[in-house]
Structure 1
Amino acid sequence: MFISGGINALRQAEGHAEAAKPLLDKTVGKQPESLPDQVPTDPVTLVRIDAAVKLVGGSLLAIGKLPRLSSLMLLGSLVPTTLAAHSFWEEKDSGRRQEQQIQFTKNLGLAGGLLLAAADTEGKPSVGWRARHAVRDASKQVQDTAESVQRTAGKTAGKASKKVGKAGKQAGALTGKAGKVTGKASKSVESVLSR
């Protein structure tokens, strides 16, 4: 539908421009100088741009390339087109009003489908879900690392305490041996002196 609509708009750009002119007059108004120079305000140029968006977006969506982006492109094209071409609330004739209301409602349904296509992640988790889980995983990893550092520090402190205890025992043993040697030397000196 979008591709054929784009082709039709290119073939009949002037006719589509006449339908778009009232909407442009309301939105842009009599002050087109308020827009940057790069933004076209000519209805025929805008119809051609809209047609190109429909052709490109419709083709990309049809072949399954960049479906989210192409859906958003088509949605951006569909809204002004619907407002310009199917403003049923402005129709005086009840038959024409009903016809335009049907077309408006049809385009509203297409807009809903495009919104679904734009939000579809093709079974992959959304960016929000991935971000929440990345934060949770990073937090868990930091917590695990902190616990590992605490365990390692505890083990290292325990080993150091054992080594200090062992060194204390060795120092005590050496002190005891030194005391025995000193005691023997003292007895030897006494026995020499007493002779």
Structure 2
Amino acid sequence: MIDRVITKGTFSLDGGTWEVDNNVWVVGDAREVVVIDAAHDAAPIAERVGGRAVRAILCTHAHNDHVNAAADLARLTGAPIRLHPDDQVLWEQVYGPEVSYEPLADGEKLVAGGNVLEILHTPGHSPGAVCVSAPELGVLFSGDTLFKGGPGATGRSYSSFETIIDSIRKRLLTLPAETVVHTGHGDSTSIGAEAPHLEEWIARGH
């Protein structure tokens, strides 16, 4: 069972602010779920969760638009916030030292409603960016690492185009072509749809 909640708000970094719509993914069954990227407003996310237990609030990275509802949702649900510690500097820009999280590790596996979710560290968009692979569901939750049409943005602080391309090539394009990619913003895609365009992205990025 995969639900999407679209929330609206702003993304701010390096002195700029942009209006954005975010995909919040709720994965599990009728009893328990994991929430991926609690963005902007905890209320509609909690409403979609309903009476189910939240096992974890997973953050694919710590840009403010992906974590700014995490603390409120944690208070509402009692769930731990999980983040790769390489994004500590970005986390502190949002929450300072007041809100803590439990560190995620590359290769770590979590279970929600019988669904195994594996953490893939995919730096580039940010140092601690991760994707969440659910092989039994044939799905990847890519955060802002891979979108329909190309890699996530790398033009701001703590990002690297070369690193994100390396992450996509080694960690994502090795997944089955039929894997559905649920992204942090916009429409979903698939590994098979994106893989043929890798060299175009590299040429465009340089």
TM-score computed with the length of structure 2 as normaliser: 0.23
Higher helix share: 1
Report the TM-score, using the length of structure 1 for normalisation. Answer: 0.24
Look at both structures and tell me which one has the larger radius of gyration over its CA atoms.
1
The structure with the greater share of residues assigned to strand is: 2
Larger RCO (CA within 8 A; separation ≥ 6)? 1
